[in-house]
A and B are shown apart, each in its own frame.
Chain A
């Protein structure tokens, strides 16, 4: 477990954070600018010292103000990927990559230079200087450099912030590969829910220097009380699916989840692979019987488990589909007209075209084939 309970004042800003997160997989740290995300991970890395509190990972205490324990950053073995990459300009790319590795001679180094260069595909960049690299290449080297220092935890501070959309998609897939190959726990800081939905298993929401929510990603994303923090219309359910079959004729892919199936525009992933789908509440309509004469092909049957009125106009309806929970945003007028009640059987309708690459956590802009499928 990653256990953090710290307080730190910076001028008028007070960070007062208390949370625990699993020390495996990717934990997303979400919050608006100025919420305290960077302050929090700077405290974890030892770049800032807390006024009070304790930080520990798996019983290894990094700092404890009461016990007067403070481990220097270099002794923590916490990797840090900075927003601005911070490569050393006077060193070659190879010397940058080896900077941390050279300083870890004594300990066993399971993450090897060759493996990292191979996964990141940076072989051809090794003799170059950081100044001559593009933004995406720089972040790849920064990732590799942090990994080669053999960290027990990797902190990523908005690593995509200074990149354009295609580069973002590229670095995201590299991070996924690193996660799968090196099985390193990561804390990924971002103000983009799209990135976090694609990568994170666990989510921490920071607001005004406090932890507003913490838990498994799907649970936090669907929490009603967090809507103002997560963004009004971004709310919805996150469904873990498996690619079941591709339909090359109609260019559609069938995804299976616990509770039903979804037909989405062709997904460029092999059958059997896990994909996350975000079903935005505003993209879902409800029907009392299964409508057969509509164009909507995704019809999920479930039972209503909760209501929440929003702004007096809308109603958030929570529907249990198998063990999966989906959410629909409908007008209060519709709710009364259909006389919806908790426990009632309903069909949740999702248009295939609503499930674009963004809701699939695939930030890559749609390719020609995907776009064609969307129009059909």
Chain B
């Protein structure tokens, strides 16, 4: 049976991944919409920034976050003095690291589904009396739901496994930022920690299988709702 400390790591992982997914979802939808349906001067730059975490080593992303948002970073100092928010070496930092790292995956899935929706349907809705927002919400949004669901699931799963950026930016503090991967790493580094590591790996596996099953159920529901096979 896992010990309370190990269950803490599991619980923390779930918490970090869930919050990271929920926080990035609206931003990812906005980014996907900007990239798929608009053209503005900084579009290529936005595309590059969104995709950067996919191609940069996670340690580099973590270090960049630390430079910007750490206690002595320009944004970090302002956040601390103006709002009393500290991100480096906190659970909030772990959430941010996970969110940034999984963001490109989420944007990609949502953007692909948005591009697959015929833009002419929104015009049809407009001629039927729907405002721009109404047309998006009642036509485009439901049709891109499969992409939103799969984007959220991919982001959640990758957040559960996030390691490099987290340990660099949020460090490895028990009960605070030590998520499952960090706990496994710590156990491996400890003499005679093999059994602990094995149990944590078992927890990881169970979590992964549970997430996959949930994804399958969600996908089926959405498809049935849209009347697709």
Contact = CB atoms under 8 A, between A and B. Distances in A.
Interface in B174-229: 225-227
Instruction: Give the residue among A72, A74, A80, A145 with the most B Cβ atoms within 10 A.
Output: A74
Contacts of A84: 120
A129 B138 CA distance: 16
Given A100-B128, A149-B128, A73 B227 contact: no
Interface stretch (A60-68, A86-94, A282-290): A86-94
Interface string A72-108: 1110111110101010111000000001100110000
B129 interface: yes
Contact of B121 (A47, A77, A86, A146): A86
A46 B127 CA distance: 8
Contact of B226 (A76, A77, A90, A145): A90
Nearest to B125: A99
A344 interface: no
Interface residues of B, number: 21
Contact of B227 (A46, A89, A99, A145): A89
B120 A82 contact: yes
Interface string A97-140: 00110011000000000000000000000000101000000000
A321 interface: no
Contacts of B130: 74, 99, 103
B143 interface: yes
B192 to A, nearest CB: 57
B227 A90 contact: yes
Nearest to B141: A90
A73 B139 contact: no
Contacts of A80: 123-124, 127
A320 interface: no
Contacts of A100: 128-129
A149 B123 contact: no
A146 B131 contact: no
Instruction: Give the residue among B127, B130, B138, B143 with the most A Cβ atoms within 10 A.
Output: B127
A86 B129 contact: no
A325 B30 CA distance: 63
A90 B120 contact: no
A45 interface: yes
Contacts of B126: 46-47, 72-74
Given A90-B143, A131-B227, A72 B131 contact: yes
B139 A74 contact: no
A90 B128 contact: no
Interface in B83-129: 118, 120-121, 123-129
B158 to A, nearest CB: 28
Instruction: Give the residue among B124, B138, B143 with the most A Cβ atoms within 10 A.
Output: B124
A74 B127 contact: yes
A172 to B, nearest CB: 22
A254 B199 CA distance: 95
- Give the interface size bracket for A toward B: 20 to 34
Nearest to B227: A129
A73 B229 CA distance: 34
B161 interface: no
A39 B75 CA distance: 50
A45 B127 contact: yes
A165 B69 CA distance: 68
A77 B142 CA distance: 25
Contact of A90 (B124, B132, B225): B225
A100 B131 CA distance: 11
A340 to B, nearest CB: 53
Given A74-B131, A103-B130, A90 B142 contact: yes
B20 to A, nearest CB: 29
Contacts of A47: 123, 126-127
Contacts of B225: 90
Nearest to B225: A90
A88 B117 CA distance: 11
A99 B126 CA distance: 11
A10 to B, nearest CB: 16
A103 B128 contact: yes
A88 B227 contact: no
B123 to A, nearest CB: 5
B130 to A, nearest CB: 6
B126 to A, nearest CB: 4
Contact of B129 (A82, A131, A149): A149
A103 B120 contact: no
A89 B226 CA distance: 7
Nearest to B127: A80
Given A46-B126, A84-B120, A89-B143, 15 more contacts: A47-B126, A72-B132, A74-B131, A74-B134, A78-B127, A79-B128, A80-B127, A89-B226, A90-B143, A100-B128, A103-B128, A103-B129, A103-B134, A145-B128, A146-B128
